[in-house]
Amino acid sequence: MTPRGTTPTIVDVAREAGVSIKTVSRVLNHEPGVHESTRDQVLKVVEALRYRPKQSARSLAGGRSFLIGLLYYDPSAIFVGSVQQGATVRCRELGYHLVVESLHNDAPDLRQQIDRMVMALRPDGMILTPPLCDNPEVLAALRENGTPCVLMSPERDLRGVPSVRMDDVHAAEEITNLLLSLGHQRIAFIKGPPDQSASAARYQGFVNALRAHGLEPDPELIQPGAFTFESGREAAHQLLSRRQRPTAVFASNDDMALGVLAAAQRLGLPVPNDLSVAGFDDSPTAALVWPPLTTVRQPVAEMARTAVEMLVTGQRPDASAGPADEADLHKVLRHELVVRDSTRAR
Amino acid sequence: MTPRGTTPTIVDVAREAGVSIKTVSRVLNHEPGVHESTRDQVLKVVEALRYRPKQSARSLAGGRSFLIGLLYYDPSAIFVGSVQQGATVRCRELGYHLVVESLHNDAPDLRQQIDRMVMALRPDGMILTPPLCDNPEVLAALRENGTPCVLMSPERDLRGVPSVRMDDVHAAEEITNLLLSLGHQRIAFIKGPPDQSASAARYQGFVNALRAHGLEPDPELIQPGAFTFESGREAAHQLLSRRQRPTAVFASNDDMALGVLAAAQRLGLPVPNDLSVAGFDDSPTAALVWPPLTTVRQPVAEMARTAVEMLVTGQRPDASAGPADEADLHKVLRHELVVRDSTRAR
DNA sequence: CTGAAAGCGCTTACAG
DNA sequence: CTGAAAGCGCTTACAG
């Protein structure tokens, strides 16, 4: 019997089951070559004793920590909640746990912070979210200490470094197509900041869709923006005070679209009656304004799930199987068009 | 010298510094009774070798995991981002790490999920956020396996169980006082759902403030709500179609206040010119609407920091110091009034 | 199909 | 002020 008040160890299970601890270990790790009856017997005892192997012992002996690290920067990022939801659930399913670390993208001791975490915890893999996944210093630190990484929505894919993303170009095309199909011809576009690759991708999608319909983007209707509420408001003020107003505005993220809504309201232009507005991201706010925003939902939780899987599955640090197929390294997940009340046929 | 390509261990440090591993251990753990010159020598070697003790080894030998668990339920909760920001930063400062687990409040295997995590990781403490911190099953499971907990904003404080919260009554008083000081007399209030204690507390604060000014709450101006956007919209429609409209609405959370904004817009009532609106929570959305919401900011990140501290500091599982002072167990942190453009003097 | 031995890298008593 | 020994609870080769 296990001493009362003490948590059972593998030794207790082995004694109780009448086998060696090695056999218990084999059963617990799903290793092949254990007689079915032996396995059943062990599992029965495990159940009875409510035994769970201790992570620190497994980690010390086996060299795997069963920990996945999540590095993120902006606490207000719409991302965080969904990333975590997806990542923790998938981790649990796979017998892993998620350790979260918030870093400052421009902290002087960024490298030290990462080293410290990696050396202490030895996570079996690390998920990087923007903007950290585009920080060369972070990537270099992780590569040096040999921690496998998956980048979530990086600016651009790196050869040999796994990543998960959605297709911004395609999604922007779909939003634009929606507006076109509603009969809009004068569609304005508010761009993101030039230093983010999503900005160019979304604009590209917008242009693609127009051209596919035989239209050319009208320079008068293209405004710069910064992915912020304020920049959206300013851009909208410009656009809506033109002699010939657009009948629809596609703001390339939700925060800017909210700014457009505010500007329209300020100018007494009812949305969607006199103006259709579309955003991009499906931020929590998008559904909490009037009218609720038509937008694109990034599959954030799914991306996180996928990242965990790639980390747990691709455990071949020595690349014994030869260089992994580059295409398999970069996954693109399907987004979702969310049509709400801010868009209407003209 | 440390073998190349291998991460240094305590043995390498000891050899290089010409001391025993026990002495290295003492230095690293800030134990007293080490000669200053010895300490310096050890630290120099630690630095040179970039040595960091391995958590799994420390944990296995020492019985402390240096892990703090964070249990949460709702991924969309405004909480998550700030909780994590506060908790991870404080953890890092104290040499701990944060493991996050998302649970379903009504999952059938809730208890198992918790047991599994605790048995595997042996976190030194656990932070519970609403609604998990009010779930008796969760609390029982944690108590049984002896994991110290801190409850964040629980419905009610439990004897002997540490908690951190803000003062809802006081904050609601302040919002009401603000509206009163702006000259509003007909102030409507939208309540939260009766099963959440914050609802009653915020209403209490509202009533307190009115009475302090010699006013009585007008039943005509009190509406039920459910802390959701929709319930706020409905309540506002009721309130704003009265023969004698209120000049201000205090919605007891931001989501409902956003609903009020939507309703006012629908009815062509400009905010704040014809109607002042105040919320509660300072959700991310509060600043992303027009006009931006006057509200109360919960000190969420600070609460999380404090929770980590309580867990790390109060490491006396056997209560050797006698029953801790009940008052010290329940911390109340200062909130912040956020005055924006949705409120104006009438 | 199963087991005895060694060892992962630390900390905890215990000495001196 | 410092150290030698034992042990935490597992997994990894290695045998048979």
Question: What is the rounded average pLDDT of the residues B195-201?
Answer: 91
What's the Å distance between residue B302 CA and nucleotide D12 C1'? Answer: 45
Query: CB-based burial of residue B186 (10 Å sphere; 0-12 exposed, 13-18 middle, 19+ buried)?
Result: middle
Q: Which 3 state secondary structure label does DSSP give B273?
A: coil
Residue nearest C2, CA–C1′ metric: A23
pLDDT value of position B197 = 87
Give the residue from A61, A84, A15 showing the smallest Cα distance to B76: A84
Q: Which 3 state secondary structure label does DSSP give A163?
A: strand
Give the lowest-confidence range in A105-119, A213-227, B287-301: A105-119
pLDDT value of position A320 = 45
Mean residue pLDDT of chain A comes to 91
Select from B52, B84, B301 the Cβ nearest to the Cβ of A100: B84
Question: What is the rounded average pLDDT of the residues B234-255?
Answer: 95
Q: How far apart are CA A129 and CA B288, in angstroms?
A: 23
- Mutating which of B7, B13, B55, B144 best tests the A interface, going by the most A Cβ atoms within 10 A? B55
Dihedrals φ, ψ of B100, to 5°? -110, 140
Cα atoms found within 13 Å of the Cα of residue A140, Cβ hemisphere only: 6
Which H helix or E strand runs over B100? strand B97-102
Q: Strand D: which residues 147-186 of A lie within 7 A (CB)? A: none
The residue ranking higher by pLDDT, A74 or B104, is: B104
What's the Å distance between residue B319 CA and nucleotide C3 C1'? Answer: 44
pLDDT value of position B139 = 94
Q: Which of A49-58, A203-212, B44-53, B83-92 has the highest mean pLDDT?
A: A203-212
**Does residue A2 register a pLDDT over 50?**
no
pLDDT value of position B75 = 59
Which H helix or E strand runs over B161? none
**Does residue B323 register a pLDDT over 60?**
no
Q: pLDDT tens digit string along B1-44?
A: 444 457 899 999 999 999 999 999 999 999 988 898 899 999 99
**Does residue B148 register a pLDDT over 60?**
yes
Question: What is the rounded average pLDDT of the residues B60-76?
Answer: 88
Contact B262 A290 (CB under 8 A): yes
pLDDT value of position B319 = 44
pLDDT value of position A100 = 94
What amino acid is encoded at B299 in this protein?
Answer: P
Q: How far apart are CA A157 and CA A135, in angstroms?
A: 13
pLDDT value of position A197 = 87
What's the Å distance between residue A51 CA and nucleotide C5 C1'? Answer: 24
Crossing angle for the helix pair B21-28 and B10-17, to the nearest 10 degrees:
110
Contact B55 A80 (CB under 8 A): no
Within 7 Å of a protein beta carbon, the nucleotides of strand C are 1-13
A318: pLDDT confidence band, cut at 50, 70 and 90? Answer: very low
Question: What is the rounded average pLDDT of the residues A177-204?
Answer: 96
Angle at B193 between CA B103 and CA B280, to 5 degrees: 85
Q: Is B95's CB less than 7 Å from nucleic acid strand C?
A: no
A100 to chain B: which residues are within 8 Å by CB? 70, 84, 88, 98-100
Q: Are B323 and B274 in contact (CB under 8 A)?
A: no
B324: pLDDT confidence band, cut at 50, 70 and 90? Answer: low
Q: Which residue does chain B place closest to A62, by CA atoms?
A: B56
CA distance A290 to chain B (A): 5
Question: What is the rounded average pLDDT of the residues A2-19?
Answer: 81
| Nucleotide showing the shortest C1' distance to residue B59 CA | C10
- Domains of chain A: residue spans and CATH: 10-53 (1.10.260.40), 63-165+300-332 (3.40.50.2300), 168-298 (3.40.50.2300)
Q: What share of chain A is helix, strand, coil (3-state, %, to 5)?
A: 45, 15, 40
pLDDT value of position A313 = 87
Instruction: Provide the token pair at A117.
Output: 């975490």
Q: Which residue does chain A place closest to B82, by CA atoms?
A: A75
Query: CB-based burial of residue A339 (10 Å sphere; 0-12 exposed, 13-18 middle, 19+ buried)?
Result: middle
Q: pLDDT tens digit string along A227-279?
A: 999 999 999 999 999 889 999 999 999 999 999 999 999 898 999 999 999 99
What's the Å distance between residue A65 CA and nucleotide C6 C1'? Answer: 21
Dmax (CA) for chain A in angstroms is: 88
Angle at B311 between CA B305 and CA B315, to 5 degrees: 150
**Does residue A181 register a pLDDT over 60?**
yes
Neighbouring CB atoms inside 10 A of A298's CB total 23
Q: Strand D: which residues 20-79 of A lie within 7 A (CB)? A: 21-22, 25, 28-29, 51, 53-54, 57-58, 60-64
- Mutating which of A117, A231, A290 best tests the B interface, going by the most B Cβ atoms within 10 A? A290
In A200-293, beta strands by DSSP E = 222-223, 248-251, 276-278
Q: Is B29's CB less than 7 Å from nucleic acid strand D?
A: no
Q: Is B21's CB less than 7 Å from nucleic acid strand C?
A: yes
pLDDT value of position B32 = 86
pLDDT value of position B313 = 87
Question: What is the rounded average pLDDT of the residues A125-145?
Answer: 92
pLDDT value of position A19 = 93
A140: pLDDT confidence band, cut at 50, 70 and 90? Answer: very high
**Does residue A319 register a pLDDT over 90?**
no
The percent of residues above 90 in pLDDT, for chain A, comes to 76
Q: How far apart are CA A334 and CA A227, in angstroms?
A: 22
What's the Å distance between residue A50 CA and nucleotide D6 C1'? Answer: 28
pLDDT value of position A145 = 87
Query: CB-based burial of residue A47 (10 Å sphere; 0-12 exposed, 13-18 middle, 19+ buried)?
Result: exposed
Q: Is B59's CB less than 7 Å from nucleic acid strand C?
A: no
